Structure 1
Amino acid sequence: MPIDTPSRRLVITGGSSGLGAEVVTRALFKGWEVTVIDRNPSEKAPTVLADLSDTAAAFAAGEEAIGDGRAIDALVLCAGINIPGMFEEQDIETWSKPIAVNLLGNAAVARAGISALKAAKGRLVGIGSTAGRRITPGMSAYGVSKHAFRAMFHALSLELNGVIPISLVNPGTMDTNFFDGRPERFTPSMDRMAPGNVADTVMFCLEQPSSVVIRELYVTDVTVHDWP
């Protein structure tokens, strides 16, 4: 049964599938009021549909999801795409799409949510990636987007220190549809984590005491032996 607690508001990008959907499930169970921003509707929570590769649309979606004058207790930036391919084999429009979504679209939603987070002393949590520290061939655009995403969170944690608690969760490979339809040469052979385990980590960051913030975490399958 869902836990009966005073309602807290969560807005999440990329909440209709994969890791984002697992976060939505756990937040709803714990009594959060959840709004999703995604290109596809969530089966579990109200959704503001938006193409996050369009920064103006992403910003507008953030404003709509939050609502005029309302505070939010948490904003989770989970939206992410990857279009695998070697740099010299992709046109620049295709190559840059992950950067547009993973970095700029999420940044636009974060910008829309800053005032609402301040009003509730809410938390900002970003979903980075181990690719934000280590890039593999055929993942250049995705790796660039996640390196820059990590840098953005570092900058925001300095600019908003003591105002908004900011956390970054960097998962390794997860068992989601992220790799569906991908050429075999761009599909990792390592074991994949259950996304629910990573979602538990996200909730751990969200539910810390007000005086505590988890700055950055790396979450990988136990068989991954190298350090980020």
Structure 2
Amino acid sequence: MDAVIITGGSSGLGAAVVAAVGKAGGRPLVIDRQPPADGVEWVECDLADTRAAEAATRELIERAGTVDGVVTAAGFDVPGALADVPGEVWDRIVTVDLLATAAVIRAALPALELSHGGVVTVSSTLGIKAVGDATAYCAAKFGVVGFTRALAAELAGRIGVTLIIPGGMRTRFFDERDDRYKPGPDAVLNDPAHVADAILFALRQPPGSAVREMVVAAERESSYP
């Protein structure tokens, strides 16, 4: 494994994947609005602009000369009832979490075909179990599930495709929420490094073998099954 593009690589799960790729001797390449860890190559990009996301992907591939993997770890949510979430916020959640996922992968396909590389998309346990006050997030993450399953069928034998379904993790994902939408004091959250390890396992599969889907969560994850 050499060059791996990681969206959202400046924080949370994305940063954990950056660290894991670097530790494994790979070359993490980040697309994000904020800078990643010192020394990590990146392109500044607002993933809500999907054409810009495609351009950023192509720029990183041109810099690296090749790419062996793409991990679409970027994602966010603003929970609330459908009537209470402004339309532009609702749209942005779906765009960043779903449409940018497709945009980055689309731009990387030619390079991934040459390297017979791998794609790992990141959904959520709320991509297989719907809850209230999360219509945008559930729409996006359910969409990632359907998109990834269709992509795996489309690219079988050419590019490895894996769907990761993580449960709640100890990241800043919940920091800016109203208290009622934050994990309670008894919540058990997973270490994002564990999910990153699962992602690397998927990317390291030999030709002819693919890990199609993995749920990675704390043993007492309340949103799964």
TM score, norm. by length of structure 1: 0.93
CA contact (8 A) 1:174 1:193 kept: yes
Output the amino acid matched with 1:184. D
Q: How far apart are 1:206 and its partner, in Å?
A: 1.0
Q: Residue 223 of structure 1 aligns with which residue?
A: 220
The 5 A counterparts of 1:153-192 are 153-189=148-184, 190-192=187-189
Report the secondary structure of 1:88's partner residue.
coil
**Is 1:66 matched up with 2:61?**
yes
CA-CA distance at 1:211 after TM superposition: 2.3
Q: Which residue of 2 aligns with 1:3?
A: none
Q: Please state if 1:203 is matched with 2:197.
A: no
1:80 and 1:101 in contact (8 A); partners too? yes
User: What is the alpha-carbon root mean square deviation over aligned residues?
Assistant: 1.5
Alignment partners' CA distance in 1, 2:85 and 2:123: 23
Letter in 2 for 1:209: P
8 Å contact kept, 1:81–1:102: yes
- For the pair 1:42 / 2:36, whether they are aligned, the reply is yes
The reply on whether 1:16 has 2:16 as its aligned counterpart is no
Aligned to 1:145: 140
SS of the residue 1:37 aligns to? strand
**Aligned-partner Cα distance in 1 for 2:127–2:224:** 13
CA distance in 2, matches of 1:145, 1:226: 17
Give, in angstroms, the shift of residue 166 of structure 1: 0.3
Q: Secondary structure at the match of 1:218?
A: strand
Task: Report the count of equivalent residues.
Answer: 222
Q: Following the alignment from structure 1 to structure 2, what is the Cα–Cα distance between the partners of residues 210 and 196?
A: 25
Once residues 99 and 85 of structure 2 are traced to their aligned partners in structure 1, the CA distance between those partners, rounded to angstroms, is 20
Shift of 1:225: 6.1
1:81-104 per-residue CA deviation (whole Å, 9 max, x = no partner) reads 111111111221111111010111
- Identity rate of aligned residues, in percent? 38
- 8 Å contact 1:15–1:23 — kept in the other structure? yes
Q: Distance in 1 between matches of 2:195 and 2:13?
A: 7
2:19 is matched with which residue?
25
> Once the 2 structures are TM-superposed, how far is the Cα of residue 118 of structure 1 from its aligned partner?
0.2
Partner of 2:191: 194
TM-score, normalisation: structure 2? 0.94
| Residues 88-103 of structure 1 aligned to structure 2 (within 5 Å) | 88-103=83-98
Read off the aligned partner of 1:85 and give its amino acid letter: G
Unaligned residue ranges in structure 1 (runs of 5+): 1-6
Per-residue Cα deviation, 1:133-152 (whole angstroms, up to 9, x for no partner): 11222211011100011111
What letter is aligned with 1:89? D
Q: 181-190 or 49-58: which moved more?
A: 181-190
Do the aligned residues in 1 keep the contact of 2:167 with 2:223 (CA within 8 Å)?
no
Q: Is residue 128–residue 171 contact of structure 1 (8 Å, CA) maintained in 2?
A: yes
Deviation, structure 1 residue 226? 6.5
CA distance in 1, matches of 2:49, 2:157: 31
Paired residues of 1:69 and 1:116 also in contact (CA < 8 A): no
- Give the conservation status (yes or no) of the 8 Å contact 1:58–1:106: no
Instruction: Using the TM superposition, name which of 188-197 and 148-157 deviates more.
Output: 188-197
